Structure 1
Amino acid sequence: MKTIWIIDHYSSEPKYGGISRQYDFAIELSERGHNVVIISSAFSHFTHTYISENAYYISKINDNMHYVYLKTSPYAENDGISRLRNMLSFKKAVIKNSDMIVKEFGKPDVINGCSVHPFAWVAAYEASKKYQARFSVEVRDLWPTIWVLNGDKSKYHPLVLFFGTLEKWAYRKADRIIYSMAYGDRYICDKLGFSKKKTFLIGQPMDCERFDRDAETKKSQVPEEIRTFMKDSFTCVFTGYYMKYEGVYMMLEVAKLLKEKGCPIKMLFVGSGQEKDGMEAYAKENKLDNVYIGSRISKESIPALLKASKICLAHLAIEDHEETYQYGVSKNKVNEYLYSGACTIYGFLYKDDAVATSGAGYVIEPFNSQELAQRIEEVYQMPESQRAKFGENGRAFINENHRVQVLTDKLEQVFFG
């Protein structure tokens, strides 16, 4: 039995929300006989509340898989000095508690340090040297390059220079580099010059069995008000962050266009974010009774919600910064959309995205409300048998390319090959 530590600040069990990537991999690895420990923060980035108030809290998932939640400093906003303090406190907590984790679960054979933020890499590296374990780096967001590409910061900004130095340091030290965005190698290898021999693409996994099970058994967890809104309706669903780059105002504009044309199509938004008040004001001002703007719902109820929808809506683009996502993205919810059985419509600049190439939906020009409205109407008017093809194609694509068992085969090769 090999012991694997996955150090991921933002990972948690699905019942706490957040990103399920590490949970899904760890479940599969544990079922293959590996001893897996996920080390993460007890303070949720998504709810801004504590999973546990304890400084050190163990959650047993099964005999071979455990979460270790470490208490870190809180923060109210997802940027600023308090967020940075939280990152540093996580690194400090990992190092402080590493001997206790070894005593509980044994020395690690592999330590996988996972960004978003690179201080997790530092903690993973220090632990790997201490316990003589293989050190792998996982990158799901290209900090700090993304700040420069989206126009948020200059390439000479002190934070960009600092994190850029830290990034290259981690890539040099790593025995293996894992990236999850489709073209991450163009940045890590072609631009920064790191060897492709130690660089591996492992995308976002889908636990298809859990999705199907939750879609059937968690229907009652979808709030009654949402179920009533969707009942007997052709509904387009958006889940996620209420941010401008997610195209939420463009989608509301489409709802207005569809209402003016008399199309009996509804738009449902479920999520959270800084634009919620603005979205609600827009809907109220334009009397959009075909729109529902809700708060976050449980992660476990999302499959039931998506399965009840006809179209799933996604969008990712920064206005006036077309180059922002040239290396691809790790957008877990798009995988869920593709597997849901609905048609997916994605506002994204790169037409070779899997949404289009798999035949599961359409990739449209970002912020183009006319094109989105046209596509929605087109899908609405299709015979049910034709519309079902989108879902069939999406599920086939996910099963072949993102099923957790398929990607865990690759992950084992990275960890132990």
Structure 2
Amino acid sequence: MPPPRTRGTALRHQLAELRGPDVPAKALDARALAALAANPGCGRRALLDGAGVDKTALASALGSPAVFGQSQFALTRGNAFEAKVKADGGAELLRLAHAALDASAEPPVSAAVPDLTAAGPEGRTARTALALREAYTARGTPGTWTLLDHPMLALDVAGSPAFLEPDAVVVHPDGTWTVVEIKSFPMLDGSADPAKVGAAARQAAVYVLALEQVAAHLPVPPRVRHSILLVCPRNFSNLPTASAVDVRKQRAVTARQLARLTRIEEIAAGLPEGTCFAPGLPAEQLTAAVESVPATYSPECLATCELAFHCRARSREAGAVTTLGRSIRAELGGLSRVEDVLAAARGEEGDPGDPAVAARRRAAELRAEALAGAVAGDPVNLPREVTPCP
């Protein structure tokens, strides 16, 4: 068996070949990782994200472009708000962190903002780890806080490193670490849109996992706080306010789902020779390459994956019940195609002892009785027992 370094070099070379010659790798961010963890059974997304394939360009080349993403106006507004929060050496950000997370500690009287510049993501990751180690070593001085502005963290995902860049990380005087998420959606009367807060929590949970990997390499691992600091505009102003958000549940789910991901080299080993996802290739060749990697589509993919429209079309063509949603798929047991479900309901296929088959047949009987009653002019005389139709 080749040593790990040799295996890692071979894998990186193989992933570069999958992207195509001279095609730069697209960085895998925490938002994409959170979406990947929400659908760990999708080998297609795991491979394409791990290889750094630009799925937006790939979807356009396939004729199924993605239609979601932040507008340029939203990006500009978000960047301006983040700059305001971090102005004056992060004084306002540290004040918010003290008030929301660590009110019993000494208020920030001085702050260290280390320089995290370095060459490449590996260099920035090493520089971030060094800054965190130095801040942890200097803990214990009352009123001394450390702010890491856009640190670089690494997280192993299916055997391949993903480099992540949180908005900020705060090191408290007691040496504990906190992830900071700065968002441009408003916090009205102390609360924000639950859906947006949930998305921010899932994204921050990825950063927490990456920070825990850094902490594990220290002689005395510091505690990574599981309550992150969410900073948003207050009401309809541009003034920042903050709230502590507990991400323990999101962290546990993300860690479990990431652990379930099939290792990228295992997926890549099953691909046909010469498979390539370069957007400049003919559409027929790209379609064959994409279809050579198994996918697990669900309607939730439409909001998180650039290839969702392509996968949905293929799922509909195959008559897969996953097109209808995971909850319906879970109720149908071994019936994986719509055609199989209808055949089971008609009594043409399926084991009558299978609860899923028996439920479909009972639902078909009730539907037939209801329609017969309606045709007879007595629509009120319907069966009292109600079973969901497939």
- State TM-score, norm by structure 2: 0.22
Structure having the higher Rg:
2
User: Which structure ranks higher in relative contact order (CA pairs < 8 Å, sequence separation ≥ 6)?
Assistant: 2
